[in-house]
Structure 1
Amino acid sequence: MEASAIPALKPTGWVSLLSILVMLPVIGRADSGQIAQPWRAEAVVEGRDEAYDKERFLNELTFRHSQPLPTAVGNGIRGTGGSVSSRRLYYDFRFRQDFGFRNDRNGFLLDIQRSEDLDGAYQRQLVGFRQAVTDATELWLQGDVYSDKSVSDVYFSARHRLADNHWIHTSWILPDAYFNSKTDSPDEFETFPHSWFLQWHRGGGEPGLGTTASMTLTPDSSFISRQESLQVDSESVRAAFRHRQQVADWQISLELDGERTRRDYRLFAEGEGQTTGFDRNHFQVLASSTWTVHRLKPGFGLAYRVLEEQGFFGRALNDEGRIRRRESTVFGEFSLPLTPGVSLRPAVYLGHANIRQTFEEETDKDFDGFIGKLALPFVMVLSRQDGAALTLNPTFYLHKSQFGGGNLQLHWPL
């Protein structure tokens, strides 16, 4: 998934696997854990509106971001979208730009996000400013602003630079900050939510290399939705780690991502009157490496995911269920230059999925067996100077004779 004129592929993986996975392609994904993920009303009230099929996470893996730049902490356009079922489109897009002025002591911040997590799709339009208070420290004020003032989020942040391309960043986020005083709905907060975001980043000298560690912590809050006839108390923590470096002739990348979510629901619609909980534990690791000096730039990788969910899945599904997934995938790829500006990077994914999925209102959907995919991404260079690329990626299932969905990506560092 790379052309010779653009940077090497994006890092992912798990640092504790470095010693055994040093020969393992450089892969990328949404990096949502490296971006602040504050409390969302639609997440805790509605939840996601689908029960994932067995190929869902395999599809996301094959549609991952194929370029290393822009990174989750860099400026630029970063988008990928693809069909994950006959009715569903997976879509992850971000446009981030820091417009510095006054010798970069001030900046106008724009951050547009559209993506999804395990609670469903979301979108944000963050606008704000930053102000340097010392040569090494900045204060940021941002808002996710809507015409309905009750659902606007406020971000108070500080960033301290330890060296060039090396910082600590912290944010205090007030989701729906003015909800109780501004809403025209009957809903209200009993305990207002807030989220803390902490990030440490250290660049590796070359663009795309380095280490980033992030965490979003949302302490307990309580929200009453009279429109949906429920009250929900919730808390969560999400953390992510990414490391990428060049070791001799190999480019190695490691990523770890995890989530722990707890919710308690009180349902008071007619005929319900019950208390039920929801627990989620999610963990995934990806590791990869690419032989960068070889003409074909061959790569190999490993992905592993654990997802456990149990309880009430929100009003969107309006059902009690239990999900237990264990998925492991190995994959390999190489690059075939076709023209000076176009390359083909075939990739094969071979995996095993163990899925135990039970809902009260649906037939059990268990699966234990092989799943696989063939991807044929064509990477087209849009700007050699900027490292911009457009990727068209048709895929095909290996465990059944069926088209596996098309994927379109755009990466343009700014």
Structure 2
Amino acid sequence: MAVMKTMLLSSMLVVSVQVQAYGWSGPEPFRLERLDGRSFMLNEESFLHRSSFQAMPVVRMQDTWADDGWYGTAGSTRSREFYVQSHLQKRVQFDVPMFVGVRFRRDEDLDGRFDRTLFGSGYASADGRLELGVWGDVQGSKEQIDLQVEGVWRPRANQWLRATVISPDAMYNSKTYDSSFYQRKPLTLHLAAGTSFAAGQQLYGFTNLNRQMEYHQPELEQQWTDKQYSAGIGWLLPVSANWQIGLQSQGLYGLRQQLQGDALVLQLRRQFSDTSLELQSRQSQRIDYWGGVRYLTLREQDQTQLTQLQMLEQRDEWMLYGGFAWNWRDWIRLKPALMLSYADIKGQRPDDDEPLDFSGIMAKLVPMVEFLLHQQSGAVIRVNPTIELHNLSFGGGNVQVHIPF
């Protein structure tokens, strides 16, 4: 039966590496609206909520964001906010070595929420091992069109190399209605790869480079610069016939500046890291187990003309988690998990009436239920009504879909 494998239980150490947020979801090109900053606030529970809304175990080699299907999560993080992560892709292979496709993504990162809708076409070999395509995020406003060139090589099963070059706002300088322009255009380079070895080891990773761009607004006498670099690596190592250890780490470094004439008006420096170390049951059984430790850190600093270096956000969070997956019925899998978090957080922005200052323990019960919708494809839907144990209240419900086409 093509039931999706899952796992859990145990605790352990963590290795901290400074690499990127949300990077496993595909390329993260520069967006001009990032200069406006986040439209939502991060509170003490934000990352715990998001962690409890993701499929477990955390450490797993996959290239899902580039596969045909619908994959995503939607859940409540606050009374007025949803966390939404959705990817939908469909490609059509013709009788000749050519494909056309559409790819939609709705997600969030540390700069805010965003949508991308790509239409693409290109060459695809008959055996599916090589693909070369041109994609575009086509919008009514030509100045906002992104151009994306992508190449994929799959030499064998469970092995891939994907290279992407993106030119955000490719026609901006010639199509904008005002006097704003890029003196140095943004450019994104993304590389992702994964491979499996005969002994059962799996190694995968990515890197995403947004080179420094320079954006001028003559009417406001303002100039902006922005750059961001990120990477991630994952490793699964079998330690016995029934168990394996997984390590996954990602992080980001970014620097953004706003100048008025020659004076520095704003400087935002960001560092983020997220690392998980897990023990997972390796073989698909009636009951699978997994568990581990996750550590994340976020540093955001702001500097203006009026203030010295000011900490906007300082967050350190350790999460201990564990659970199991039980095949209760042929089409129903129970996947309860428990998450325990210790967070040390300080945050303040100019418009904050109550600066964020929290240090303490939080816990969530995650009684997820997974329904098998289609045995052949492995399509599932997961219903996940979480419970906050530290204040005995509803912790936000969410629904996850994994539907390959």
| Contact 2:205-2:234 within 8 A present in 1 as well | yes
Map of 2:320 onto structure 1: 330
| Contact 2:287-2:324 within 8 A present in 1 as well | yes
Aligned residue pairs total 385
- Specify the code of the residue in structure 2 equivalent to 1:127: F
| Contact 2:254-2:269 within 8 A present in 1 as well | yes
Map of 2:74 onto structure 1: 81
- Counterpart of 1:200 in 2: which secondary structure? strand
Q: 2-side partners of 1:334 and 1:134: how far apart?
A: 40
C-alpha change, 1:187 and 1:82, in structure 2 (3 Å) is: same
Map of 1:181 onto structure 2: 174
Q: 2-side partners of 1:31 and 1:10: how far apart?
A: 22
- Counterpart of 2:356 in 1: which secondary structure? coil
C-alpha change, 1:394 and 1:194, in structure 2 (3 Å) is: same
| Contact 1:70-1:413 within 8 A present in 2 as well | no
| Contact 2:232-2:249 within 8 A present in 1 as well | yes
Structure 1 unaligned regions, length at least 5: 12-16, 22-29, 314-319
Which of 213, 225, 232 does residue 233 from structure 1 map onto? 225
| 1:78, distance to aligned residue in structure 2 (A) | 0.5
- Counterpart of 2:48 in 1: which secondary structure? helix
Mapping of 1:238-387 within 5 angstroms? 238-244=230-236, 247=239, 248-267=241-260, 275-291=265-281, 292=283, 295-311=286-302, 321-362=311-352, 363-387=354-378
Map of 1:25 onto structure 2: none
Q: Deviations over 1:171-229 (max 9, x none)?
A: 221100001111224432222111111222225689x9843211111111112357887
Map of 1:168 onto structure 2: 161
Which of 211, 215, 234 does residue 219 from structure 1 map onto? 211
C-alpha change, 1:204 and 1:388, in structure 2 (3 Å) is: farther
| Contact 1:79-1:94 within 8 A present in 2 as well | yes
| 1:369, distance to aligned residue in structure 2 (A) | 0.8
Q: 2-side partners of 1:312 and 1:125: how far apart?
A: 35
| Contact 1:31-1:72 within 8 A present in 2 as well | no
| Contact 1:215-1:239 within 8 A present in 2 as well | yes
- Specify the code of the residue in structure 1 equivalent to 2:216: I
Structure 2 unaligned regions, length at least 5: 15-20, 305-309
| Contact 2:228-2:254 within 8 A present in 1 as well | yes
Which of 116, 127, 138 does residue 124 from structure 1 map onto? 116
Map of 1:35 onto structure 2: 26
- Counterpart of 1:334 in 2: which secondary structure? strand
Q: Deviations over 1:109-143 (max 9, x none)?
A: 32110001110111111111222589965432111
C-alpha change, 1:228 and 1:169, in structure 2 (3 Å) is: farther
Residue 101 in 1 paired to residue 91 in 2?
Answer: no
Q: 2-side partners of 1:226 and 1:89: how far apart?
A: 37
C-alpha change, 1:5 and 1:164, in structure 2 (3 Å) is: closer
- Specify the code of the residue in structure 2 equivalent to 1:75: D
Map of 1:403 onto structure 2: 394
- Specify the code of the residue in structure 2 equivalent to 1:283: S
Which of 3, 7, 10 does residue 4 from structure 2 map onto? 7
- Counterpart of 1:61 in 2: which secondary structure? helix
Map of 1:24 onto structure 2: none
Q: 2-side partners of 1:405 and 1:342: how far apart?
A: 22
Q: 1-side partners of 2:271 and 2:318: how far apart?
A: 17
- Counterpart of 2:37 in 1: which secondary structure? coil
Map of 1:111 onto structure 2: 103
Indicate the larger mover: 180-189 or 46-55. Answer: 180-189
- Counterpart of 1:297 in 2: which secondary structure? strand
Identity %: 27
- Counterpart of 1:77 in 2: which secondary structure? strand
Indicate the larger mover: 300-309 or 221-230. Answer: 221-230
| Contact 2:246-2:280 within 8 A present in 1 as well | no
| Contact 1:157-1:171 within 8 A present in 2 as well | yes
- Specify the code of the residue in structure 2 equivalent to 1:342: I
| Contact 1:65-1:80 within 8 A present in 2 as well | no
- Specify the code of the residue in structure 2 equivalent to 1:409: Q
| Contact 1:156-1:171 within 8 A present in 2 as well | yes
Q: 1-side partners of 2:292 and 2:142: how far apart?
A: 46
- Specify the code of the residue in structure 1 equivalent to 2:315: R
C-alpha change, 1:312 and 1:203, in structure 2 (3 Å) is: farther
Q: 2-side partners of 1:10 and 1:267: how far apart?
A: 54
- Specify the code of the residue in structure 1 equivalent to 2:376: Q
C-alpha change, 1:85 and 1:225, in structure 2 (3 Å) is: farther
| Contact 1:343-1:379 within 8 A present in 2 as well | yes
Map of 1:72 onto structure 2: 65
Q: 2-side partners of 1:309 and 1:89: how far apart?
A: 23
